[in-house]
Amino acid sequence: MLFKQRNIFIIICLLALILTSCAKQSAPEAPVNPVSKSNFLLGTEVTITIYDKQDEAIIDKAFRRISEIEAKMTINNAETSEIIALNNASGSSEVKLSPDTFDVLERGKEFSEMTKGRFDITVGSIVKLWNIGTEYAAIPEPDVLEQKRLLIDFEKLHLDRNKLTARLDEKGMQVDLGAIAKGYAADEVAKILRDNGVKHAIINLGGNVLTIGGNMQDKPWKIGIQDPFNPRGEYLGIIPVTDKTVVTSGTYERYFEQDGKKYHHILDPRTGYPIDNDIASVSIITTKSIDGDGNSTSVLLLGLEEGLKLIESQKDVEAIFVTYDKKVYVTSGIKNDFALTNSDFELMD
């Protein structure tokens, strides 16, 4: 499946002392009869809640927009997918793309360049080989995995903005947008809501949480960050946000077990195997959800030290890192905002 299914259970709350829902919207402090609808899109449950307008048609329009994006970027429907067309044409010809698909590919390549290939948008060849998140997940044969790994190289993806075309140099190369496309869809939903006059809303695409404005009292929404070592709904701290997105990803989200070992879905382009470092999960706080997506995967691949440097080097991007030894690191811009609420964890200076 193209879109990584983050089982991110972020608790969205409006009161600092009332944090009860997981990956769902809580009720505002005063009854305003919010309108909320859910749908299954991009391989996950999508919930949109509007607090200041009683107009389900706006949400329906947003769902249609997500469906449009999914049709173009899926790897499950060759009749509509521009990504399947691009991958099938690898090593032979360029492919004409819609502005949607081109924009996501372009941003994905920018993250590939920013991380010097640790995040690589052309990782699709090994993603399909592992099939993590499906019933066919299995450890690939080493020689086959190495053969597919050698096809990963973002520098061999060529984009022409003037013509809106893309080309993959080598036959067998595959683009995979699972680490970034869901964020783009969340941003497009936010645009639709704002264009229709919505000023207070929460968009949740399976863990990509994007807030419009603050709550109905014009105070920040309070987002609970999932404890990666416990079941959904158990959080380790809260972060207040207004007009921001919170994107959390972790090695606990999708995995399979074989011979007593877990194999998660964050694959290292350098080895072909799931990344093995000190980070259990990371939450990115920023303005655009597509940037939250790209940064969350990049940080998981880079590890704590390099990941911290990457986030601190960007404007208006913050992060909360959770390591396997239950230590929590936050970037400089939110040190005074993040509140650790679970004594099992240690907040580091």
pLDDT tens digit string along 298-335? 999 999 999 999 999 999 999 999 999 999 999 999 99
Residue 345: per-residue pLDDT: 97
Q: Yes or no: say if 275 and 268 are a contact pair by the CB < 8 Å rule.
A: yes
Residue 155 DSSP symbol: G
Q: Which residue has the tokens 């404890």?
A: 227
Residue 138: in which H helix or E strand, if any? none
Q: What pairing do the DSSP bridges indicate for beta strands 279-286 and 318-323?
A: antiparallel
Residue 149 tokens, joined: 């790994």
pLDDT tens digit string along 265-284? 899 999 999 999 999 999 99
**Ramachandran assignment for 206, one of left (phi > 0), alpha (psi -120 to 50 degrees), beta (any other):** left
Work out the pLDDT band at 262, boundaries 50, 70, 90: confident
Residue 135: per-residue pLDDT: 86
Residue 11: per-residue pLDDT: 44
Work out the pLDDT band at 1, boundaries 50, 70, 90: very low
Residue 198 tokens, joined: 């919505």
* Euclidean distance between CA atoms 106 and 113, whole angstroms: 11
Residue 310: per-residue pLDDT: 97
Q: Yes or no: say if 107 and 121 are a contact pair by the CB < 8 Å rule.
A: no
Nearest C-alpha neighbor of 318 from the set 247, 259, 263, 250: 247
Residue 54: per-residue pLDDT: 87
* Euclidean distance between CA atoms 83 and 74, whole angstroms: 7
pLDDT score of 213 more than 60: yes
pLDDT tens digit string along 31-59? 468 999 999 999 889 999 999 998 999 99
Residue type, 66: I
Contact partners, residue 111, CB within 8 Å, separation at least 6: 119, 121, 180, 294, 295, 297, 298
Quote the distance between the C-alpha of residue 348 and its chain's center: 25
Work out the pLDDT band at 231, boundaries 50, 70, 90: low
Go through the domains of the chain in sequence order and give each one's CATH number.
11-65+198-347 (3.10.520.10), 70-168 (1.10.3980.10)
Give ∠ CA 331-334-340 in degrees, rounded to 5.
Answer: 95
**pTM for this predicted structure:** 0.89
Residue 299: per-residue pLDDT: 96
